[in-house]
Structure 1
């Protein structure tokens, strides 16, 4: 017989979150498979999994039987780790939840339902134009039902009702969002949330999902402050080794660990070779460890951009057991702990320095994937280029860290992908002493147009308006291959065919890459356009590129063609027309 929960405390809530995160992790591929676009880098499940993994890590650092404190820790971790639109919305759902239970040691049925409702309200406020038939709808319908549920005072009963209603709402998403009905799937983000709720119910039912929580408690009972307490017995002991290193001198700031399950043929042309893989990763950091057998690869590396490491790995298969730790943050905490134990008026090694004036008024952060594109962005003035894009979206924390590296008063952020805009906007409230302005660019061509519209001698507001206006003057296109059969926008799409996408809409599907490119360009180019820019991907062939140039010059003799090596994976060509 399952236990009755008249109320739950922080320990119960933590067990629920761990079970929800574990269930989502096990269903990542299933959620990814629901992405509407049949492109090879649909990653809603991956984004949500990385987001909740970040929340769990923070929860493990600050365990508490006080549900308000536990929820606050979860919220902080989710906020910093949020990736992609669904990840950001998930973080906002639990941010509102945490605000509602902030002062409570435990919650009953009514309080839990109210916390779910506040989570929904917070999430809706975070999205500029909420779309029904998404994770928002699933969360809203489930919370609304919870608020109306009066038949029992048992949290397990309530959570089962919430899960059932969430499933019902998920099943209706194709009726609310035509593109889902057209493709024949339910919303991916909504499915991810259902996976989390399934874990919640399993934990309250007393299933094996609680084992991880029991293990966590055992480890934490050892006492995370023992080293400091032992050191305190030795008056004025020698400085710890870490104190001889300045935090800012740590070159590669993130300890990154994960398991790679090799999936032969996941990306065309990519065959796993341990030596080659180790060499690829060695260029991205130090302290590298790669241990491989026939199917699994264990990776440990200290890297400045963990996303780049995981991008390389995802070419060969699926990631799991991902752990990313900020070593600069850990180092700072070590110094703080030492200072608390030893600081006296005679010996202090942490010096407070007044913040210096910024060296320049403006700075830029952009998101891109591909060495060529990175070089182009850097050449036109971007200070930090974060590795990412449609695949492996950078987290809110990644964006905040990039902003903090730039010595400028006002920082413009160019997400260059619609699935990164929310995470960038969420970073605005986390940056102190600087002004963060998000230019909602949805593609690399838009991002380039925006930065080229920037003028050094114009104030920030005028620049922001000019950069946003520039986005409307660019038409963006990209070509990749379909990973499944489907029908979208009246176009029959076959797995393995090449699809041309203009500003988020599929306009062509052809068995041949060049035919797909030509059809896309015919859709994009109109009378009055003057320039076509082509960014070649890492798989683009020189003879095919020359054929495309000849096609444009023959059909549109007045058009100027600019060709640049982009180096982006998965997308053989990126086009812009203006």
Structure 2
């Protein structure tokens, strides 16, 4: 599709309603900022339904072009906006409509400008914009759309892809999202709209009946709190006309003194929608009377959200393993652990690690880090998880071979404390060795190290050095010498994890060497795929 015409706009609005309806409960469940268990999914759905209803009820000549169709959607969304998310959605639609006023179609270039305008209006609609919310997702989508050709498909697919990336990043921007292990609910709802538009443009949407507008029910008298302080008990919303920009500015200031989550946004013409959380309902409405003519006044009491919360913990125990390498990840997943591939995620922040802990939804979590480099960040994440009521224990494991030893004795049927002790003892009884290439220079107990030298490490200390360049024979020789050194203190089991740089035949070479020099020792070999190691060795 090269342009969006009136028919495409209608199909998009219809698909948005269907998609939001399908995702409503999931979006509601992840609404934790700033108060859990809000109605973001429900509010977005009701607002979009109001927009579609306004489009379908508009006269034929008021919906025969993309510009007029988008204007009808924007007015309908503004008139039926529910909650903060509904207000923001109305401004997104207004941004699209303003850019193509009077135009029969929307081109890729026009969509690019429309997303930029929607970003401006949505940000202006929020009294205190916060990073990590729907505004971050919208801004990222608008920025991505600004680059590249004016092709309609390129613009919307770039925007949707960037929006998805920004949504995934929201837990890193808002600690409350990281603690809950979720992304921002409003941002998730916006991504539904972007993905749906991309599907319409690329021709992947499915036609279906228009979802009818839901009738008003007694349940609509209560609502979940999707923003603001718990200090205020009511959400007051109304439409306002017969006013001016100056009067609206004064109204915002007045409402700001009565409560929070204040917004007063317009359709670019004569209609405004006003939103506030407060305790004094009468004062909020009287302020509107002083500014113009309020009508379609809605007052909702915030529902008791505690009873409606989904259970925080759905299982008693979980083991989290932090390692790198595709083979190691698959190995530990096959053992039932929750595994984070450090090679894939890069350098995780405390918020990233906290999100992993919370996402297990386990009451008691045992963490097995396969590297010592995460100690401080992991300690910070664990402290936050424990403060929030989750029981988290880190078993000291500085290598995947020690993680393997701990996993081998893990028994979910034991008491948690006894199980942690058993894993810690198994890990501590495993000496760890490693073969790796030096990436720097320095002085060690074994002598001077230069870049490219082949190093044999024992419990983190350099004990063997093979000067660069090291060929396959040198790797095999040093691996055998390292194993011999580790077995000098005794041992019955040698566990090896082959890194990405391990030469072919290294495992066979070690097996032949042990058969001759240590026939009493059992050898176990795993493919780990670690990008920064040749081979990891554990001796028990």
Instruction: Give the TM-score normalised by structure 1.
Output: 0.43
Q: Report which of the two structures shows the higher radius of gyration computed on alpha carbons.
A: 2
Instruction: Give the TM-score normalised by structure 2.
Output: 0.46
